[in-house]
Amino acid sequence: MKQFYSHLIEIESIVVELDKMDLTEEQKVHLTGLIDSSLHHTILDAVLSELSPQDKRVFLNHLQDGDHSKIWKFLNEKVDNIEDKIKTTADDLKEELKKDLKEAKNR
């Protein structure tokens, strides 16, 4: 599912690590679901931490509607360099995830 931040996130490096692991289809679906969910919630947390209680409500309404152009218009008005903040948050988490995947593979 395409998220409002999908264009900012490079997922290829995680997928490469995943493909090196000896997983069943079921395990792969479960693990990838966890990865996507972690990324999604970490990014949402980063965005919400930049917004006032009132703005959080507006953002969540736009998110619920799935209107990406409204989300970006709103975030760009409310938060400076929001794209960079999302990218940095995602990159940090991705590094952690890659480290975890490598460790799991070597066990």
Helix (H, G, I), strand (E, B) or coil at 40: helix
Report how far residue 45's alpha carbon sits from residue 73's, in angstroms, rounded to the nearest whole number.
Answer: 19
In the bound complex, what is the minimum distance in angstroms from residue 101's beta carbon to another protein?
10
Q: Which of residues 9-38 bind another protein (CB under 8 A)?
A: 11-12, 14-16, 18-19, 25, 28-29, 31-33, 35-36
Count residues binding another protein (CB under 8 A).
19
Report how far residue 46's alpha carbon sits from residue 48's, in angstroms, rounded to the nearest whole number.
Answer: 6
In the bound complex, what is the minimum distance in angstroms from residue 40's beta carbon to another protein?
9
Please identify, using beta-carbon distances, which residue of 16 and 104 lies nearer to another protein: 16
Q: Is 89:42 a contact under the CB 8 Å cutoff? A: yes
With b meaning 16 or more CB within 10 Å and e meaning fewer, what string describes 86-102? bbebbeebbeebeeebe
Q: Which of residues 36-65 bind another protein (CB under 8 A)?
A: 36
List residues near another protein by CB under 8 A: 1-3, 6, 11-12, 14-16, 18-19, 25, 28-29, 31-33, 35-36
